[in-house]
Amino acid sequence: MSTSAERLKLLIFPAIDADRLQRITAISPRLTVVNAETADLARTEIADADAFYGKITPELLSAAGQLRWIQSPTASLEHYLFPELIAHPATLTNMRGLFSDVIADHVLGYILMFARNLHLYRDAQWQRRWAPVGDANAKTDFVSSPGIETPIDRAHRHLSDCTMGVVGVGAIGAEIAHRGAAFGMSVLGVDPHPVTVPGIIEEAWPLDRLPELLRASDFVVIAAPHTPSSEGLFEAEMIAHMRPDSFLINIGRGAIVDLAALTEALQQNRIAGAALDVVETEPLPESHPLWTMPNVLITPHVAAASPRVPQRHLTTLLENVRRFVAGEELRNAVTKEEWC
């Protein structure tokens, strides 16, 4: 990347706060950091910049004369990449790997709610209604219970009897798999790349086995990024492979699931329920029927929300700046062509 005596220039645009800027400039006396407050200044300064952090545009990239590294401030790249950037020789890195445990916690929250009917009990609580799912009129019999299996028992799932299918076994998907396995679940995975989760997923299946995974899973978790190959992946025909007693969870990207097809499957009871942190159109329109379905959980794109994430974001940025100055391999390098 660079020699020990070489001076390097990092352009930041949009400008960042003083605290983060100070941490970056302290990395090396060889590094000149320009924190551009305006687009005009960014266009001027990028001419001799070696590295860039922030939102790159075609106009900025065309003015770059020696750019070798671009750091995206986000993990997702569907709204970041453009043809000139894909073709540019500069290394692109992103912020993947910051959210894995946070999002995995969110997913297990969904699963536990569905498995134990907590969403339905919360609704019943608002109505001050004592009504066990499976038999709303049942009264506890302390003599025969729990020696006899009841409809109430059958309405509450035992997670170690369930299978989780993970679509996209990257950093987030792997952590979700770990969480599921910790609850005793069997875990399957599909991914376009040959990946493993040691001790949990021996080898992720290729994408052409996705229908098989859907048929085998009680809980299907979409943890894939939005790429041309994943867009619209869950359309009506694909959703039809799911079982009537299975749940679909999407914490990947809304564009992966055809919302009309999912809504129809739910309305016709072809799947048991859905948990959505992301949807095709955000925010979900107030008139959409998903809002009022008791078997649907909707959260407003907050699965990655945590005080830990900004801390990790800065740590990743600082580490990559340090590596760039030292001429070391950068973290989270992206194969740009996979996103086009």
Is the pLDDT at 115 greater than 70, yes or no? yes
Q: Please write down the HEC assignment for all residues of 220-245.
A: EEECCCCCCCCCCCECHHHHCCCCCC
Strands across the sheet containing 247-250:
186-190, 163-167, 219-222, 247-250, 273-276, 296-298
For tokens 């986000």, the residue is 74
Q: What is the pLDDT of residue 138?
A: 83
Cβ burial of 15 (10 Å; 0-12, 13-18, 19+) is: middle
Q: What is the pLDDT of residue 33?
A: 98
Residue 77 CA to residue 85 CA, distance in Å, equals: 11
Give the pLDDT band (50/70/90) at residue 278: very high
Nearest CA among 203, 184, 38, 174 for reference residue 99:
174
Is the pLDDT at 35 greater than 70, yes or no? yes
Distances (CA, A) of 235 to 44, 230, 257, 262: 46, 11, 6, 8
Q: What's the mean pLDDT in 52-77?
A: 97
SS3 of residue 30 by DSSP: coil
**Whether the Cβ atoms of residue 37 and residue 54 lie closer than 8 Å to each other:** no
Nearest CA among 236, 288, 228 for reference residue 253:
228
* pLDDT tens digit sequence for 258-277: 999 999 999 999 999 999 99
pTM attached to this predicted model: 0.91
Q: What is the pLDDT of residue 337?
A: 86
> Hey, which residues are catalytic here?
253, 282, 301
62 CB-side CA count, 13 A: 6
Q: What is the pLDDT of residue 141?
A: 65
- For the beta carbon of residue 73, count every other beta carbon within 10 angstroms: 15
Residue 223 CA to residue 250 CA, distance in Å, equals: 7
More confident residue, 144 or 227: 227
Q: What is the pLDDT of residue 338?
A: 81
Cβ burial of 340 (10 Å; 0-12, 13-18, 19+) is: middle
Nearest CA among 17, 54, 25 for reference residue 39:
54
Residue 11 CA to residue 36 CA, distance in Å, equals: 7
What's the mean pLDDT when you consider all of the chain?
A: 95
What tokens does 300 get?
A: 């407003």
**Whether the Cβ atoms of residue 191 and residue 168 lie closer than 8 Å to each other:** yes
Is the pLDDT at 1 greater than 60, yes or no? no
- For the beta carbon of residue 129, count every other beta carbon within 10 angstroms: 10
Q: What is the pLDDT of residue 42?
A: 98
Is the pLDDT at 2 greater than 70, yes or no? no
Is the pLDDT at 22 greater than 60, yes or no? yes
